[in-house]
């Protein structure tokens, strides 16, 4: 039986924590050789401060980039492909403090949503036979994956494997939602690998993630060479049973790392010393004079997509400007016939949609909340977009 090592370090000094977490694994020289081109890949969901538990803490990225340079890396870049495509990855990196870090250390900034992509086969894929990956990502000698420890309305947790969606183009991100995010994330991690995963739990997120949840001052950093082992340990730290989280279980069955938590050697702090029960990302369904969600036995993925879409439309002022009476989003596996004919009613998710077509039909398993909001805006010919 293979043994995978994951380090856990708690404290108030972020740079010390990051250095100790990596040193417990054998030091940065284990992952970065002299002259190597290195990518530090944070989680840049959108232009939200790390203090909200949404994006990666710049101090964690800076510590890792500095360590890579000290080890003799020839070049270190900081890059991601944000989900906020309308804002752009470089702008999000700037707004989240990464440009300032890059300037101090002489690092480059990279938009992984742009540029040529390469078709990578997925041998024995669960749902994909190939995945499109940004060529720049593939050309680095070492990639350091720096996700945020947080919950997510579709995948339950958003950790290292989920963060890898940042290396695929926007069209591929949408395809993942069409075919099923959990299986697609497991397949992606078989095709695109990283050298090191450092989990930023300095400020984590719980509840309706990835954006609408609430921050948790967790003061914890985890690290490991195997992303699945890190994700399993992080999920356990959050109070979940790792083997019950769909994409983690699928990745384990895919042979991407440990099959069970018992194969993981934890160094530094034990899991029990830092474990905290995180609120899951199961949303309350908004119901107001202007918007409602009708749930006909939907999964949490579609529940979250609908709730977050309403939240983002509300935040951008849609309902103040909209001339309609009440927006209705219908989700679930038992949607009765004829519902779609009601005015200002949208069907969300493959189960609700079935074989129907039309401007008020939004497919996906589960659909992206941002796509839902944008398709509603397109239907009403509104050009503004949520600022996420």
First to last CA, the chain: 44
Tell how many helices (H) and how many strands (E) occur in the chain: 15, 16
Same domain, 120 and 51: yes
Residue 308 is classified by DSSP as H
pLDDT in tens, 1-10: 568 999 999 9
Model confidence at 191, pLDDT cuts 50, 70, 90, reads very high
Q: What is the pLDDT of residue 213?
A: 84
Number of domains in the chain: 2
Mean pLDDT throughout 105-114? 97
Q: Which two tokens stand for residue 230?
A: 């890190």
Containing 200, the helix (H) or strand (E) segment is strand 196-206
Residue 319 lies in a domain: yes
Q: What is the pLDDT of residue 283?
A: 64
Q: Say yes or no to pLDDT of 387 above 80.
A: no
Q: Which two tokens stand for residue 369?
A: 């909340």
Last residue of a domain, one of 246, 274, 302: 274
Residue 286 lies in a domain: no
Taken in order 284, 293, 297, 156, the sign of the CA dihedral is negative
CA angle, residues 173, 154, 278, in degrees to nearest 5? 130
Same domain, 360 and 250: no
Same domain, 255 and 324: no
Q: Which two tokens stand for residue 152?
A: 């997510």
3-class SS of residue 319: helix
Q: Mean pLDDT in the chain?
A: 94
Which residue in 146, 181, 142 sits closest to 163, CA to CA? 146
> Do the bridges between strand 327-332 and strand 214-224 make them parallel or antiparallel, or are there none, so unpaired?
unpaired
State the alpha helices, DSSP H only, in the chain.
14-23, 58-70, 89-95, 98-105, 135-138, 160-163, 170-179, 181-191, 227-237, 246-253, 271-274, 300-315, 318-321, 350-353, 369-379
Residues paired with 150 in a beta bridge: 158, 205
Same domain, 69 and 124: yes
Residue 387 lies in a domain: no
Model confidence at 208, pLDDT cuts 50, 70, 90, reads confident
pLDDT in tens, 214-231: 999 999 999 999 999 999
Residue 311 lies in a domain: yes
3-class SS of residue 29: helix
Same domain, 310 and 367: yes
Mean pLDDT throughout 15-27? 98
Same domain, 196 and 221: yes
Mean pLDDT throughout 221-248? 97
Last residue of a domain, one of 249, 274, 299: 274
pLDDT in tens, 46-89: 999 999 999 999 999 999 999 999 999 999 999 999 988 889 99
Q: What is the pLDDT of residue 85?
A: 85
Same domain, 192 and 64: yes
Is the distance from CB of 44 to CB of 30 less than 8 angstroms?
Answer: no
CATH for 100: 3.40.50.11440
d(CA 358, CA 342): 13
Same domain, 189 and 64: yes
Based on its alpha-carbon atoms, the radius of gyration of the chain, rounded to whole angstroms, reads 21
Same domain, 306 and 260: no
Residue 221 lies in a domain: yes
Same domain, 116 and 47: yes
Residue 327 lies in a domain: yes
Residue 337 lies in a domain: yes
Residue 280 lies in a domain: no
pLDDT in tens, 197-207: 999 999 999 99
Residue 331: give the domain boundaries. 291-379
Same domain, 133 and 237: yes
d(CA 296, CA 163): 31
pLDDT in tens, 257-311: 999 999 999 999 999 999 999 998 866 677 788 999 999 988 878 988 998 899 8
d(CA 235, CA 244): 10
> Do the bridges between strand 214-224 and strand 196-206 make them parallel or antiparallel, or are there none, so unpaired?
antiparallel
Q: What percent of the chain has pLDDT over 70?
A: 98
Same domain, 237 and 308: no
């Amino acid at each position: 039986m293979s043994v995978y090592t994951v380090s856990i370090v708690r404290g108030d000094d972020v740079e010390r924590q990051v250095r100790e977490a990596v040193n417990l694994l054998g030091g940065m020289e284990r992952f970065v050789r002299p002259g190597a081109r290195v990518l530090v890949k944070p989680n840049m969901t959108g232009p939200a401060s790390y203090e909200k538990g949404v994006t990666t803490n710049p101090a964690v990225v800076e510590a890792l980039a500095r360590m890579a340079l000290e080890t003799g890396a020839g070049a270190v870049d900081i890059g991601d492909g944000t989900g906020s495509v309308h804002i752009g990855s470089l702008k999000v990196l700037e707004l989240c403090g990464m440009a300032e870090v890059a300037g101090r250390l002489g690092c480059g900034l990279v938009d992984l949503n742009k540029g040529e992509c390469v078709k990578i086969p997925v041998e024995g894929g669960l749902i994909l036979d190939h995945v499109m990956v940004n060529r720049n990502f593939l050309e680095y000698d070492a990639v350091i994956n720096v996700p945020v420890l947080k919950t997510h309305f579709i995948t339950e947790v958003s950790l290292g494997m989920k963060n890898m969606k940042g290396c695929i183009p926007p069209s591929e991100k949408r395809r993942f939602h069409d075919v099923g995010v959990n299986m697609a994330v497991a397949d992606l991690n078989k095709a695109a690998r990283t050298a090191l995963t450092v989990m930023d739990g300095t400020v984590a997120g719980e509840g309706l993630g990835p954006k609408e949840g609430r921050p948790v001052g967790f003061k914890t950093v985890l690290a490991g060479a195997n992303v699945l082992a890190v994700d399993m340990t992080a999920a356990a730290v959050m109070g979940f049973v790792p083997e019950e989280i769909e994409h983690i279980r699928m990745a384990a069955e895919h042979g991407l790392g440990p099959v069970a938590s018992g194969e993981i050697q934890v160094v530094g702090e034990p899991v029990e010393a830092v474990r905290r029960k995180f609120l899951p990302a199961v949303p309350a369904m908004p119901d107001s004079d202007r918007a409602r969600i009708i749930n006909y036995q939907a999964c949490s993925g579609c529940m979250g997509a609908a709730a977050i879409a309403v939240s983002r439309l509300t935040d951008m002022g849609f309902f103040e400007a909209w001339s309609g009476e009440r927006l209705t989003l219908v989700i679930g596996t038992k949607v009765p016939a004829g519902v779609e004919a009601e005015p200002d009613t949208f069907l969300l998710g493959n189960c609700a949609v079935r074989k129907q077509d039309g401007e008020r039909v939004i497919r996906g398993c589960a659909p992206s909340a941002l796509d839902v909001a944008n398709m509603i805006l397109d239907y009403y010919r509104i050009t503004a977009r949520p600022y996420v």
